[in-house]
Chain A
Amino acid sequence: MKTDNDGMAENAEWFDPFTRWMLIIMFALLAIIFIAAKYMDMHGMQGGGTDDTVNAMASLAAHAKSHPFIDLPGDAEVGAFSVANFFAGMIVGHNWKKLFERGKED
């Protein structure tokens, strides 16, 4: 991205090398997740979390009922995860510029 003297963007590329690599990695990871999920669905696998499995085993051993601190119903968990990750992304992006942005001498 080129900037003028005031630091304002003059010309922003759609796919600069960083964005391109991030998108490639993201789509590769998403492809792995979707293919794995499809395979599991085709073979009737539940796809539950190991944390839940072991917590259930431990509850049986303890003769006690385990519970998360807050059990979000339905899609609320997706919403909470999205909100948390949105702001996590903003924080990472904000600090990324401070730490990893190449200076003019580079």
Chain B
Amino acid sequence: MHIEDGILPPRAWGFWYGVTMLFIIPGVREIKRRVRENLAYKPFLAMIGVAVFVISAMHLPVPVTGSCSHPCGTPLAAIVAGPFATAVISAIVLFFQALFLGHGGITTIGANDFSMGIAGGISGYLCWKILRRFNFPLWLAGGIAGFAGDVMTYLTSAFELALSLHGHVPLVRQWMVFFAGYGPTQLPLAIAEAVFTAAVLQVMYSRRPDLLPGVTGGKRFNGIGKAETEGY
């Protein structure tokens, strides 16, 4: 989903920058609010940021298709750090990946952030919230959220390309052509992302349940690493 510079016309990448800003501004507010509420949130966000950086730059080989791709990490980030905060950290991650690793581009940060940080993050977060509301087990809700967020990232990225480049070809057909470039390799990695997301959430639940918003029944922590009460 790392669209490079030179592919999207200025009107398109400008549009995606604008749309992304609509999520980044409330994201900055969300970060400020949660930093005031929980001392642990700031180091936690830093950790989530570097985790997204590494996960979304880590190209894994998929032998069934003979190509490589990477998971995203943003569904997990949206669940634990918040969906709008994920839009902010994802934009920072994409900036450094473009600058230092040659992944993606500078003009396309808006489009890439919309697919990975916003569509991927929010779809994963919504899956998580809905499934948890119906009392799905934590690992299953997390796993489905990871899978859905990963697939949604690549569907959105293909849509962004098709929207600008479909020309006389029907939009949906061009969208599916671009997604066909991602899909066969990405589906096994989406399953891997599901397993990874479920495992991390399960470990976090056992160690720091206070960092999982909306998850009850564990220890409550105040600040950094101090257990206070049980069963809130």
Measured CB to CB, the residues of A under 8 A from B are: 32-33, 36-37, 39-40, 43, 45-51, 53-55, 57-59, 61-62, 64-72, 77, 80-81, 84-85, 88, 91-92, 94-96, 98-103, 105-106
For the A-B complex, the count of residue pairs with Cβ-Cβ distances under 8 Å equals 155
B61 touching A92, Cβ below 8 Å: no
Query: Given that A36-B61, A62-B165, A69-B102 are contacting pairs, would A55 and B4 also be in contact in the complex, using a CB cutoff of 8 Å?
Result: yes
Minimal beta-carbon separation of B4 from chain A (angstroms):
4
Closest residue to B3 on the A side, CB-wise? A55
C-alpha gap A91/B62 in the complex (Å): 29
Minimal beta-carbon separation of A40 from chain B (angstroms):
5
B101 touching A96, Cβ below 8 Å: no
B44 touching A95, Cβ below 8 Å: yes
B104 touching A69, Cβ below 8 Å: yes
User: 15 A-B Cβ contacts within 8 A?
Assistant: A32-B60, A39-B63, A45-B66, A45-B67, A46-B67, A51-B2, A51-B69, A58-B178, A59-B6, A61-B166, A66-B4, A77-B102, A85-B54, A91-B50, A103-B225
Closest residue to B68 on the A side, CB-wise? A49
Query: B49-67: contact bitstring with A at CB < 8 Å (1 yes, 0 no)?
Result: 0110110010111110011
Residues of A within 8 A of B53 (CB): 84, 88
Minimal beta-carbon separation of A26 from chain B (angstroms):
13
C-alpha gap A101/B221 in the complex (Å): 13
Closest residue to A46 on the B side, CB-wise? B66
C-alpha gap A57/B161 in the complex (Å): 10
Most B C-beta atoms less than 10 A away, residue of A33, A61, A106: A61
Residues of B within 8 A of A57 (CB): 177-178, 181
Query: B170-192: contact bitstring with A at CB < 8 Å (1 yes, 0 no)?
Result: 00001001100110011000000
Measured CB to CB, the residues of B under 8 A from A are: 1-9, 40, 43-44, 46-47, 50-51, 53-54, 57, 59-63, 66-69, 96, 98-106, 157-158, 161, 164-167, 174, 177-178, 181-182, 185-186, 207-208, 211, 224-227
Known: A69-B106, A98-B43, A101-B225. 17 other contacts (CB 8 A): A32-B60, A33-B61, A36-B63, A37-B61, A49-B68, A50-B68, A58-B3, A62-B165, A66-B5, A67-B4, A68-B98, A69-B5, A88-B54, A94-B43, A95-B47, A100-B208, A103-B226
Pick from A46, A64, A91, A100: contact of B6, CB below 8 A.
A64
Minimal beta-carbon separation of B151 from chain A (angstroms):
13
Residues of A within 8 A of B101 (CB): 72, 77, 80-81, 84
Residues of B within 8 A of A46 (CB): 66-67
A69 touching B105, Cβ below 8 Å: yes
Most B C-beta atoms less than 10 A away, residue of A50, A59, A103: A50
Minimal beta-carbon separation of A16 from chain B (angstroms):
15
B5 touching A58, Cβ below 8 Å: no
C-alpha gap A32/B2 in the complex (Å): 24
Minimal beta-carbon separation of A42 from chain B (angstroms):
10
